[in-house]
Amino acid sequence: MINVVGAGFAGVEAAWALASRGQNVRLYEMRPRRMTPAHTTHYFAELVCSNSFKSKLATSPAGQLKAEMTALGSIVLATALEHEVPAGEALGVDRDLFGASITRKLEEHPLIEVCREEFTVEMAQAAIDQGDITILATGPLTSPELSGWLAKLTGREHLYFYDAVSPTVEAASLDRSIVFAQSRYDKGEGDDYLNCPFNKENYEAFVAALVSAERAPIHAFEAGGVRGEVEVGEGYALPTGESTEERFLEKIKYFAGCTPIEAIAEKGARSLAFGNFKPVGLIDPRTGRRPWAALQLRPENKEKTLYSLVACQTRLKWGEQRRIFRMVPGLESAEFVRYGVIHRNTYIEAPKALSENLEMRDVPGLFIAGQLTGVEGYVESAAMGIYTGLAVLAKNQGREFPRPPRASAYGSLISHLQDDTEREFAPMNINWGLFPDPEEPTRDKGVKRAKKLEAAQAGFTQWRTALDD
Ligand SMILES: Cc1cc2nc3c(=O)[nH]c(=O)nc-3n(C[C@H](O)[C@H](O)[C@H](O)COP(=O)(O)OP(=O)(O)OC[C@H]3O[C@@H](n4cnc5c(N)ncnc54)[C@H](O)[C@@H]3O)c2cc1C
């Protein structure tokens, strides 16, 4: 018997992938006995916010990922298509019909035993002691006690309780005539960091736009205290603040060790130039002088196709981020593959703690699926549910689990989860920047994407054959 914990997007997919291939599964779901601060129903795979499963365009990154998931038997996507509602280019669903239908399918499967109860720390420990295989798919709002247990298992530093993410841009969209590679004081640490140099005028314009920009709303539960406490048990006493905003900011500082860039900018006209954007040790090769301030960019992957904006954690609305960060010299045409977010989330630092099969390196038999692995979104979490289900199937059958080719959408997500480049590991949606560049370089964006897609399709076909062997 295989335990799958959490009947969200990843849990239902993992359970379905296993049961439809002849494995007995026990699926635990704590709702409705114990709700999370965001879920409101007893349905499996509840859509807690938007009702969209991303673009239907086959030629988009999400389209490729969904094609791969469909070929592997995705229950989420099959059910979504049965309850589709018009939503333009996106795959939108009637959330109640979708939820009721997917719950029924899982409950009626003869090889799936549904347990509507919370999976406790004692149960988790007992499963490990007995050598049972367990897939944890408890998501961004994992129950507090289990989060605390996971934190001990991974080491506190490898489990995150909040996302505090800076935006990430495609390397190909940077203006290299402005942006320069240099380490501080030219210490010869290579050209890993890129620098966007501000002069006084464009720095002041950037700061003025930043402090007046529109921010994303804070969910009450993210600041704590409303509809159940979402904290992580012993050892993590919370700071207290006056308002929701203050409490939220204090928590971010406490759990994620940072303050949003807009809050720092509010502290004074030069607070960024003396802090996050300090230019010390840098010389702009165009002027031969130190810039007024410099925003640094750090590679997000080994191939250096993606760069994150260092120390730019923000909770500005996404449209505002695009508008304002494009005011930074060198980022005028930046293509954003991920916007900055600051919100409640539980996830593991996968490159440190998980094997490429998403099994905990230090706890054989304990697998992780879904958003907990460090992907983001309904579709990506579901994708990682299928993946973990297949990895567990291979283990149960004593077979080697073939790694998905790097070029496929699955290979791209796994590469994000396994890339140990020095960085702030943060959850990622599927996006063009995760797919490897074609071998023959091209500056034409359309051609480049078509080649990426072609390679992804070929890679996935190869993987599928290997899985079936
Ligand atoms: C407020 C909010 C808004 C969001 N909006 C969007 C959006 O608009 N679009 C989008 O794509 N993504 C959105 N997301 C992210 C999306 O919800 C996740 O990517 C996705 O649900 C993750 O899937 P999962 O299976 O990993 O976790 P979940 O879908 O959260 O499933 C985890 C399940 O585990 C259960 N569980 C937790 N602990 C236990 C336990 N100890 N025992 C038994 N069961 C347990 C939970 O009740 C839950 O059903 C949002 C997330 C939040 C929190």
**Concatenated DSSP letters of 130-180:** HT--EEE---TT--HHHHHHHHHHH-GGGEEEEEEE--EEEGGGS-TTT-E
Tokens 């007024």 sit on residue: 292
Distance (angstroms) between ligand 1 centre and the Cα of 177 equals 43
pLDDT above 90 (res 211): yes
Closest to 219 measured CA to CA, from 187, 255, 257, 245: 245
Q: From atom 45 of ligand 1, which residue's Cα is the shortest distance away?
A: 6
pLDDT above 90 (res 118): yes
Distance (angstroms) between ligand 1 centre and the Cα of 340 equals 19
Question: Counting atoms of ligand 1 from 1, which one is nearest the CA of 143?
Answer: 38
| Phi, psi angle pair for 134, to nearest 5° | -130, 135
Question: Is residue 106 a contact partner of residue 16, using CB atoms and an 8 Å limit?
Answer: yes
Look up the pTM and report it: 0.88
Cα of 292 vs its chain's centroid, Å: 34
pLDDT for residue 190: 57
What's the pLDDT band for 226 if we cut at 50, 70, 90?
very low
More confident residue, 415 or 155: 415
Question: Is residue 159 a contact partner of residue 294, using CB atoms and an 8 Å limit?
Answer: no
Distance (angstroms) between ligand 1 centre and the Cα of 383 equals 14
In order of start, what are the domains of the chain with their CATH numbers?
Answer: 2-163+343-468 (3.50.50.60), 167-339 (no CATH)
What's the pLDDT band for 188 if we cut at 50, 70, 90?
low
Closest to 442 measured CA to CA, from 61, 172, 171, 194: 172
pLDDT above 50 (res 174): yes
- The whole-number average pLDDT for the span 332-354 is 93
More confident residue, 184 or 427: 427
Distance (angstroms) between ligand 1 centre and the Cα of 317 equals 22
Q: Which two tokens stand for residue 56?
A: 């239907």
| Phi, psi angle pair for 341, to nearest 5° | -140, 155
pLDDT for residue 257: 74
Percent of the chain with pLDDT over 90: 76
In 163-173, which positions are buried (b, 16+ CB within 10 angstroms) versus exposed (e)?
bbbbbbbbbbb
Lining residues, ligand 1, CB within 6 Å:
5-11, 28-31, 36, 38-39, 48-50, 118-119, 137-143, 146, 219, 370-372, 376-378, 381
Question: Counting atoms of ligand 1 from 1, which one is nearest the CA of 38?
Answer: 1
Q: Which two tokens stand for residue 201?
A: 């005028």
Q: Which two tokens stand for residue 416?
A: 């994000």
Which of 80-89, 106-115, 419-428 has the highest average model confidence (pLDDT)?
A: 106-115
Distance (angstroms) between ligand 1 centre and the Cα of 8 equals 6
Q: Which two tokens stand for residue 178?
A: 């402005």
Question: Counting atoms of ligand 1 from 1, which one is nearest the CA of 379?
Answer: 11
Distance (angstroms) between ligand 1 centre and the Cα of 166 equals 22
Q: How many CB atoms lie within 10 A of CB 405?
A: 19
pLDDT above 60 (res 227): no
What's the pLDDT band for 199 if we cut at 50, 70, 90?
very high
More confident residue, 203 or 165: 203
What's the pLDDT band for 403 if we cut at 50, 70, 90?
very high
d(CA 41, CA 35): 8
